[in-house]
Chains A and B, each alone.
Chain A
Amino acid sequence: DAGVTQSPTHLIKTRGQHVTLRCSPISGHKSVSWYQQVLGQGPQFIFQYYEKEERGRGNFPDRFSARQFPNYSSELNVNALLLGDSALYLCASSLGPYPSGANVLTFGAGSRLTVL
């Protein structure tokens, strides 16, 4: 089975631009979460979607938004990019909404965003 796939793998944007990152979960997984990993730091939670509804939001500004489609794939959108948005954006999928022993997050390889 294919794992979590993310696209694009790398991209470069300039300040003020907009970016859309895409994620396809493991087949059968209905939950998608997004994390931001700044260089030298651990991943930080941005959003979680389950059954196409937002179930959780981290401490990120309104410039960050996301959605989940009927096929459970997801998009993360970031408007008005800042230099500080440069990071690895990780998508993770799981069967259900809550991290647990039976509901483990499986991560994709990430999309590396550089903002110049």
Chain B
Amino acid sequence: AQSVTQLGSHVSVSEGALVLLRCNYSSSVPPYLFWYVQYPNQGLQLLLKYTTGATLVKGINGFEAEFKKSETSFHLTKPSAHMSDAAEYFCAVSGSGAGSYQLTFGKGTKLSVIP
């Protein structure tokens, strides 16, 4: 079974400041990890994913995340926030094999960017 905990339901940053959204996971098997973004009244868009290999993964719009197995974390960062980054962000985990049909999502973190 898998679970995801996102620390902070709401994060506010100033435009140009560092964005850090936290995600911790629990998985009984080697995980696949994902970050999705949801803009108002829209579906989910994939930002980046970790499956195997390099633990630092880069995604779209300047976002990146680092898989840390020892800390069971997959935090999302962006060096400089832009107004267009204001949205809700979801971390998700799945198992890594047959029978792992579903994504398990965290509750989400709403990012506000202050001009």
Contact = CB atoms under 8 A, between A and B. Distances in A.
A104 B43 CA distance: 15
Contact of A99 (B90, B94, B98, B107): B94
Interface stretch (B45-53, B66-74, B77-85): B45-53
B104 interface: yes
**Interface bracket on B:** 20 to 34
B61 interface: no
Contacts of B94: 98-100
Interface residues of A, number: 27
Q: Is the interface of A mostly helix, strand, loop or mixed?
A: loop
A55 B101 contact: yes
A45 B36 CA distance: 15
A25 interface: no
A45 B51 contact: no
Interface of B: 4, 32, 34, 36, 41-46, 49, 51-52, 90, 92, 94, 96-98, 100-108
Interface of A: 4, 33, 35, 40-45, 48, 55-56, 58, 90, 92, 97-101, 104-110
Given A42-B107, A99-B94, A107-B45, 5 more contacts: A35-B103, A40-B107, A45-B101, A99-B32, A100-B94
